Structure 1
Amino acid sequence: MDPYSKIFARAISSFQPFPSLCYRKLKFSPVRWLSASISSQHGSSRSLTTSRSEFDSIKYDWIDGAESLEKYVPGGYHPIMIGDVLHERYSIVHKLGHGGYSTVWLARDAHLDQYVAVKVGIADRSFDSLQQEIKSLRGLCAPLMLSHLSTCTFAQQQQQRGGNSIPLVLDEFNLQAPNGTHLCYTTAPAQCNLKEVSYSRLFPLDVARALSGNLALALAFSHSRGYVHGDVHLRNVLVKLSSGIAQLSVEQLYEKYGRPETITITRHDGNPLLLNNVPPEAVLPVYLGKYAEEFTLSDTQILLSDFGESFSPASDVRRGEDCHTPLAFRAPEAQFEPYTPLSYPSDIWSLATAIWEIIGMKAIFSTEYADINRVLSQHVDLLGSLPSSWWEHWEQRDQFFIENGQPKGGRGRYVWPPIDQAFEDGVQKYRRMDGMGEFDEEETAAILDLMRRMLAFRPEERPTIEEVLQSEWMVQWVLPDVDGSLQAQ
């Protein structure tokens, strides 16, 4: 059986994966002002200099949907609750999400009287990543000279359209807090990311094309300004907040999407929390979006987010061994040429995997229960033989293939279908089953031609992002739907 049949069980239509959509009445903590200096939090009188060693043995009861609670330590997450005011300006009204190095909150900006997303980095260790992200975003959003724009080719003008899909940094500041110094910045908020909105669901055909095109345009803009994104996948592609949500008051927002859902944090050993460093409750993320099948062209305006792994090849050296892109979306040169600098082609590989996931039901490569060697075996199964030098240096190849390159059969070795059959199995079949429309023969050929070129093993053999935008699929099918999405606004 295809492993995906086990992993991606068909979601029933009434499934609600986002508990924050449920309405619950909760008691909010009093407003707490957090700025450059903090004397106490959460009603605790403990010293702000709690040592990291005090936390080494502390474990918390697991809370589904919450960040890793063990990271609420010196050098880790900053404890935030609904009602907190950051920087004497940003009143926290909901939680949008979290990652390994930050939490993201929906806040009301008292100065501008609007909603913003506040990204709060973990203390100390996240500074380099967040500083790089802010630097990249500010560099991307710097104005272009009009004289340059007037001489752009058609393809270059298409690239510049993606500028609207790059988040604009509105403010940045530091929080001095019990767990250390946290770098923070604010941007316009988004509804959701494409991964959560499309889990076990499909977008309508025109929507899938428009989302793919807008993502390609965003990446084209980044490349045109000299930046490799370095972490392209659907969790980092956000859907812009609709104007209707932006006009809601906080109470109206709660009426529409529910009040923040919180769960009391408890320690395994039953001892009290160290409340300067750990919040009393975990706040679960709110879901402001809708499901994939409900999307229309007006919902396809995106933001390419999380530039923490971005770099400029002209001035920065990012070697393959330093690549942190998730395995399912990581270009193979990062594994086989770990000491060679990465560049724009690594983004092209990741973009291909993202587009595949947008138009179909599942990712082209799976990392469920898979290490790097299993992912590489999928690459060969789907795309054919590796370059000979890579094949010879792949020490674990005999776990999956015999010497002539044919896949080994037997227990525990699933042989993935070649890319044509993978498209039928992972894209077309599910689109037929769900009545979401399938790609006709001509468009399928154009998609597969582009995918094969973008997923070339050798980075120098992949098309540039400009060539991607000039491909048959983009010109004949995708960009017209991108234009339609603009008219639908």
Structure 2
Amino acid sequence: MEILSPTATAYPAEKATMSIRLDATLSDEVIQYTPFYYLANTEDVQMYNKGGYHPVHIGDILDGRFEVVHKLGSGGFGIVWLCRDTLLDKWRAVKIITADHSAKGTEEKIFSYLRDHCSPAELRKNHILLPLEQFSIVGPNGRHSCLVMPVLGSTVENWRMPKKDYEEQTHDDTRDVCGQIVDSMRFLHSHGICHGDFRPANILMEVEGIDDLDRDEILGLMGEPECYNVETVSGQPLTPRAPEYCVTSASEFWCETLTMKSIAIIDFGESFFTATPPISTGIPEIYAAPEVLLRGYGTLGSHSDIWSLACTLFEVRTGSPLFADVISGGFGDAINRFELFLGPLPPNIGGPKTQLDIKDSTIENEPQPDTPKLDEFAEDRACLIEGSGYSDIFEAVLGREQTRYLNLLTAAKTEAIKYRYPKEDVLGLADLLRKMLKYNPEERIGIDTVMSHPWVGKMRKGKAGTDSVDFTTRFTSAAVSSMFVFAAVATWILLNGLAKDTMN
């Protein structure tokens, strides 16, 4: 089905007709809009141009049926709207994909294959979420594919954020979710499909009971939509290419009371069949395998997903990204992290792929072919390992003593709990990560070997290991302030954020 309107069928017929006539005379000139510099959870307003987002307002009716009530999120390939299905009287998430990405039809090919070869029960069992329905919209910026999905909860990273690592329940919950994540990738790879953008942001928690809520109850959880007027830099009136206002996304924590302990894998916009790999994908650097970022590693494939899976398992298990630098970030810092954990890049590797448009890379800092590299991070690596009781950097980082500060931002007495992960857990996960994170794609273990690894086997049985969490000391008030300053300095020096303390 197609909706021929600059926004949606909520417009009166005479307004829609007028807007369609305007669409025919729209120029291809790129319109510059005043950006929303300080607004979180707002889409890139510059993408309201030809090939970009479809303009939508609260109250619009999509496909003659889905009433727009709130915004759930946005990304480079589209915007997800909370809608009320007026036909079935249910809540739905409708993702309107950008016109340029819709034209590629990547997701549709993957969806068609999975529908033809897998039953709905099989897909659900393996945590793969396909659209309930699909339709298209033709608007001022092009033709947009629209995916109708069940409403899901927060990303797995936001689900993980408030959990307390010193509690045994956190160990059980995170390892159970890690098991589901591994199952989902095994299923995709068994069908010759690579996700291409496998990371915590594309793993959502399922919710229950949402269709029992009426509009007021939903808005009571999400809050009323906050809308901000869109303006052109030139001061000229808006054309039909842009909405009158942008809507901030609902907080991901709106669904806390509805969240289940089961996941759903979403966003197949970068997915591909193993037999026909792309040159690269748009996965962020901190989850991207070397062959995605650098020349000289061969083609992309299931091995690229394995690297991303390793990063994801570490982050879900610990609550911290493995290769991220919270102070700066970017391509150069991701490479530095690789070398901190894995040693120098092989000497026969070329520079970054130009299609990734990596702006912080220069000729001087690109690895050059056949030039042996010094181990610039040997001292940092040794510093992290020294005194840890472990012999390997993965073990040292996982097994380090950590501190959780309680009541830090409240009037109550501040309390610090120091703890460590169980040794068996540390050794098992570190061993798995070492086997998954290899510069040479051919040296990485495959998903079947990941599934048979002891650490994965134990978590899939719902066990958190035989060791209990090691509680060492509790501190209060006066001691905490000096400890907190020391911890902050040590964090920055040692690991630029990887060894950061978790705050409540």
Change (3 A) 1:388 1:54: closer
Give the 3 Å change call, closer, same or farther, for CA 415–103 of structure 1 in structure 2. Answer: farther
Q: State which of 105, 113, 121 in structure 2 corresponds to 1:139.
A: 113
1:359 aligns with 2:317: yes
Q: Distance in 2 between matches of 1:481 and 1:43?
A: 63
Q: Does 1:318 align with 2:270?
A: no
TM-score (norm 1): 0.76
8 Å contact kept, 1:232–1:350: yes
* 2:150 pairs with 1:188: yes
Task: Report if the CA contact (8 A) 1:202-1:360 is conserved.
Answer: no
**What letter matches 1:180 in structure 2?**
G
Counterpart Cα distance in 2 of 1:143 and 1:385: 43
- Cross-structure match for 1:67: 43
Kindly indicate whether residue 214 of structure 2 is the aligned counterpart of residue 249 of structure 1. yes
Flag the 1:267–1:61 CA change in 2: closer, same or farther, 3 A.
farther
- Picking from 287, 290, 311, the partner of 2:251 is 287
Correspondence list, 1:455-470, <5 A = 455-470=437-452
Q: Is 1:449 matched with 2:431? A: yes
Query: What does 1:88-237 correspond to in 2, within 5 Å?
Result: 88-123=64-99, 125-129=100-104, 131-144=105-118, 163-199=125-161, 204-237=170-203
Does the 8 Å contact 1:61/1:266 carry over to 2? no
For 1:283 and 1:120, how far apart are their aligned partners in 2?
A: 15
Bigger shift: 189-198 or 450-459? Answer: 189-198
How many angstroms apart in 2 are the aligned matches of 1:190 and 1:228?
Answer: 22
SS in 1 for 2:336: helix
Between the aligned partners of 1:98 and 1:173, the Cα distance in structure 2 is 19
CA distance in 2, matches of 1:216, 1:255: 35
Give the superposed CA RMSD. Answer: 3.8
Shift of 1:267: 3.5
Tell me: CA distance 1:162–1:107, structure 2 relative to 1, closer, same or farther (3 Å): closer
Amino acid at match of 2:136: N
Which residue number in structure 2 is paired with residue 327 of structure 1?
285
Letter in 2 for 1:311: F
Q: Which has the higher strand share?
A: 2
Out of 288, 304, 307, the position equivalent to 2:268 is 307
Partners of 1:265 and 1:108 in 2: how far apart?
25
> What is the alpha-carbon distance in structure 1 between the residues aligned to residue 134 and residue 10 of structure 2?
14
Out of 345-354 and 132-141, give the one that drifted further.
132-141
Which of residues 23, 45, 50 is equivalent to 1:48? 23
CA distance in 2, matches of 1:440, 1:111: 52
Distance 1:398 1:343 in 2: 23
Query: Shift of the alpha carbon at 1:356?
Result: 0.9
Offset of residue 415 of structure 1: 9.8
1:406 matched residue in structure 2:
375
The equivalences for 1:262-281 within 5 A come to: 262-274=227-239, 276-281=240-245
Change (3 A) 1:259 1:445: same
**Is the 1:378–1:416 contact (alpha carbons within 8 Å) kept by the matching residues of 2?**
no
1:486 corresponds to = none
- 2:204 aligned to 238, 259, 277, which one? 238
Partners in 2 of 1:363 and 1:116 — Cα distance? 31
1:471 is displaced (CA, Å) by: 0.6
> Contact 1:103–1:119 at 8 Å: present in 2 too?
yes
Query: 3-state SS of the aligned residue for 2:340?
Result: helix
Offset at 1:117? 1.1
8 Å contact 1:211–1:302 — kept in the other structure? yes
Q: Assess, with a 3 A threshold, how the Cα gap between structure 1 residues 385 and 74 changes in structure 2: closer, same or farther.
A: closer
Cα distance change, pair 105–428 in 1 and its aligned pair in 2 (3 A): farther
State the distance in 2 between where 1:409 and 1:318 align. Answer: 35
| Alpha carbons 1:352, 1:455 under 8 Å: kept | yes
Q: Secondary structure at the match of 1:220?
A: helix
Displacement of 1:98 in angstroms is: 0.5
Distance 1:257 1:78 in 2: 23
**Residue 140 of structure 1: CA displacement?**
2.5
CA shift at 1:446, angstroms? 0.5
Query: Structure 1 34/403 Cα, relative in aligned 2: closer, same or farther at 3 Å?
Result: same
The change in CA–CA distance for 1:212 and 1:70 in structure 2 (over 3 A counts) is same
Secondary structure class of the residue paired with 1:480: coil
Residue 24 of structure 2 aligns to a residue whose secondary structure is coil
Equivalent in 41, 45, 62 of residue 86 of structure 1 = 62
Letter aligned with residue 178 of structure 1: P
Question: 2:231–2:238: 8 Å Cα contact kept in structure 1?
Answer: yes
Distance 1:169 1:61, change over 3 A: closer
Would the alpha carbon gap of residues 182 and 336 (structure 1) be closer, same or farther in structure 2, given more than 3 Å must change? closer
> What is the CA–CA distance in structure 2 between the aligned matches of 1:357 and 1:141, rounded to whole Å?
31
Secondary structure class of the residue paired with 1:133: helix
Amino acid across the alignment from 2:440:
R
**Offset, 1:210:** 1.4
Deviation at residue 244 of structure 1 after TM alignment: 2.2
Q: Which runs of 5+ in 2 are unaligned?
A: 1-6, 353-362, 386-390, 407-416, 465-504
How far off its partner does 1:370 sit? 3.8
State TM-score, norm by structure 2: 0.74
1:423, distance to aligned residue in structure 2 (A): 5.6
CA offsets per residue over residues 207-240 of structure 1, 9 Å max, x none?
1111211111111111111100011111111111
Q: What corresponds to 2:355 in structure 1? A: none
Residue of structure 2 aligned with 1:480, choices 452, 462, 469: 462
Work out the CA distance in 2 between the residues paired with 1:380 and 1:32. 50
Provide the identity percentage: 27
Q: Kindly indicate whether the alpha-carbon contact (under 8 Å) linking 1:353 and 1:364 is maintained by their aligned counterparts in 2.
A: yes
How far is the alpha carbon of 1:122 from its aligned partner?
1.4
Distance change >3 Å, CA 92–CA 286, structure 1 → 2: same
